[in-house]
Structure 1
Amino acid sequence: MADDAFADIASSLYELPPDEFTAARNARVKHLRSSDRDLADAVADLRRPSPAAWLVNRLARLRADQLAQLLDLGEQLREAQAELDASALVGLAKQRRKVVRALAEDAGALAEELGHPVRAPVLDDVAATLQAAMTDAAAADAVRTGRLVRSLEAIGTEVDLSDAVAAWSADGRTPSSAPTPRDEVGDRRAMKQRKADEAAAAKRAAEVARAEEDAKAAERAADEASARLGDARTAVETATSARDELQAALQELQDRLAGAERDLAEAEHAADEREREQEAAARAAEQAREAAADLHAASD
């Protein structure tokens, strides 16, 4: 059985949606039985991918550039972790959350385009798989194959790749060469070095965890400050609107007061005129009465 042929067949099958996988695999096995029984048996052993695994496989083929950028960022994170660069870790961890979320959302849109929409839990598994691929270099290689069988999950800095990829080595990694014999002193040195490496890895993991917690706390503080700023801006807008309404009402009252004062002045002026007219009429009446009295006296 040719490994390349097996990998090619597996790749083509793992491009199919899970509900189409089994029928297509069985048809391929039936076709191969007459020509290559070993290859047919190997294909028959291929397991149907989970919905999340299928969608990540589709990302590996149809969103290769975006996936490559995400995996490059994962490599930068691992380098920063190895160098204990806390400041770089904080910025890269924040960027990682953004790119994982963005590519997971793009995966949902891609599933819609392919006519096989998925629900939120599947996209959560996609995001976890992308996160795992950024955490571990072997997991990144597994995702690149486009032959995932199940979703991946990072536990600390480790990712279990057993039975996760079709047409790959059992543990998902390149087999190492056979160990060479060591004497007792060499074994003790190797054990001491392993303990030192484990302690350094634990220290790096703790520092990464602290850096990520600091980044999350900073993001929460920024969100809270943004919310308070939004509330303050709303209060300013409300106060400004109330002031404008009061100023408009005040202007209207001032205009009405000015009009009332004009009306009062005109009424007072008219009253003065009427008073003068009344006084003149009274004087004229008095004069007429006096003239009448004089005429009456003269006639007597």
Structure 2
Amino acid sequence: MATDALNEDADHLYGLAPEEFTAARNARVREVKPDDRELAARIQELRKPSPAAFLVNQLVRRKSDEIDDLLDLGVELREAQGKGDGRQLNRLARERRGLIGELLDTASAIAEEFDRDASRAVLDEVEQTLAAGTVDEPAGDALRSGRLMRGLQAVGFDPVDLDGAVAGEPMAASARPKRERRGAEAATKADERAATEESEREAREHAKARAEFKVREARARAEEADKELRAATEQADAAEGRLEELRDEREELSARLDEVRREITEAERRARTTERDRGRAEKAAEQAHEELDDATAKRG
């Protein structure tokens, strides 16, 4: 389905560093467009995540257990709010602050790892986004998707505005099974080992998917470069052919110019000779008329 394909591409793109995002997205658009123009258009609409959204998306990928703990806390907070249980609300709110504080420390470390400036404003937006994810289920699903384009903000327990916040479709709430939080009864060692193995498997799959995506991206760039090279070669060949034609034409014109110059020289020589002959003829005619006049006078 198109939505599944979009989410798959979005999962990869929003796991990248922001400076890698645009080039990777455009390469994927070029790859998909010949076969699925609708999917290519939807991928093109994906926007680079804000600095805070990038850090939250990384937390989802690296600290999925802690994020699930936070979302489960949100469920309990909403239940306590509905019951009007002030004591429970205070206890859960303290626990939420502690968990968010730990996640903020991780976010700062991630920012340093990517050589980015984790300013106070960015970390405040990360904190607001994590807190907003506990306010209602849609916000929690948006947070858990790991495909945030911008941060989230909650106003009390009102529904969180998600317009333009999530790339693709958020994970349905029912798709995330409820899990035991830290502070509840500890999981068995077998479960812990299974969770570790699953996390490692997911990390390997993510690394493999990223490597395959980079191969596709590099292949698309190479094909585009080959196409540009072929076009440039054709243009160069055409230009070389035209240059040869002009050189031949120049040689023909040069030869014709030499011939015209010789013809001009010959015509000028003939003109000078003719002019001399005409002058002599005029003198001869004049002399003949004089002789005629003399003969006529003597006869009379």
TM interval, shorter chain, is 0.5 to 0.7
Partner Cα distance (1:13, 1:130) in 2: 21
Counterpart in the other structure of 1:214: none
The C-alpha deviation readout for 1:124-166, integer Å capped at 9, x for no partner, is: 1100000100112211110111111100000121210111101
Task: Letter of the 2:21 partner, please give it.
Answer: F
What is the TM-score of this pair, normalised by structure 1?
0.54
Q: Does residue 76 of structure 1 match 2:76? A: yes
After superposition, give the CA deviation of every residue in 1:7-43 in whole Å (9 maximum; x if it has no partner). Answer: 1001111111222211111111111121211111110
What residue is the counterpart of 2:94 in the other structure?
94
Q: Which runs of 4+ in 1 moved over 6 A?
A: none
What amino acid does structure 2 have at the position aligned with 1:118?
A
The code of the aligned residue for 1:7 comes to N
Q: Is 1:138 equivalent to 2:133 in the alignment?
A: no
Match for residue 161 of structure 1? 162
Counterpart position of 2:119: 119
Q: Match of 2:10?
A: 10
User: 2-side partners of 1:94 and 1:58: how far apart?
Assistant: 24
The answer to whether the 8 Å contact 1:105/1:123 transfers is: no
Contact 1:17-1:51 within 8 A present in 2 as well = no
Measure how far apart 1:113 and its partner are. 2.8
- Matched-pair identity in %: 48
Separation of aligned partners in 1, 2:6 and 2:113: 29
CA distance in 2, matches of 1:58, 1:116: 13
Question: Match of 1:155, SS?
Answer: coil
CA distance in structure 2 between the partners assigned to 1:63 and 1:135 by the alignment: 20
Structure 2: runs of 5 or more not aligned: 174-300
Partner of 1:58: 58
Q: Distance in 2 between matches of 1:42 and 1:52?
A: 23
Distance 1:129 1:119 in 2: 15
**Counterpart contact for 1:55–1:107, Cα < 8 Å:** yes
Give the letter for the 1:65 counterpart. Answer: D
Aligned-pair distance for 1:114?
A: 3.9
Name structure 1 gaps, 5 residues minimum.
175-300
Looking at structure 1, the residues matched to 50 and 5 of structure 2 have their Cα atoms a distance apart, in angstroms, of: 23
Aligned positions of 1:24-39 closer than 5 A: 24-39=24-39
- Deviation of the 1:111 alpha carbon: 2.3
- 1:100 to partner: Cα distance: 1.4
The secondary structure found in structure 1 opposite 2:131 is helix
Q: Could you say which residue in structure 2 is the equivalent of 1:20? A: 20
- Could you say what secondary structure the match of 1:134 adopts? coil
Kept in 2: contact 1:33–1:40 (CA 8 A): yes
Contact 2:25 2:43 in 1 (8 A): yes
> How far 1:168 sits from its partner (Å)?
2.0
Deviations 1:36-79 (A, max 9, x none): 11111110011111011111111111110111111111111111
Alpha-carbon separation, structure 2, partners of 1:99 and 1:90: 14
Counterpart of 1:78, as a letter, is R
How far the C-alpha of 1:173 sits from its partner, in A, is 8.2
Distance in 1 of aligned mates of 2:134 and 2:142: 11
Counterparts of residues 136-215 of structure 1 (less than 5 Å): 136-158=136-158, 159-168=160-169
Counterpart Cα distance in 2 of 1:100 and 1:124:
11
C-alpha distance in 2 between matches for 1:60 and 1:152: 14
Q: How many pairs align?
A: 172
Contact kept in structure 1, 2:135 and 2:157, CA below 8 Å: yes
CA contact (8 A) 2:3 2:169 kept: no
Using the TM superposition, give the Cα deviation of residue 83 of structure 1 relative to its aligned residue in structure 2, in angstroms: 1.0
2:151 aligns to what SS in structure 1? coil
Alpha-carbon distance in 2 for matches of 1:173, 1:163:
18
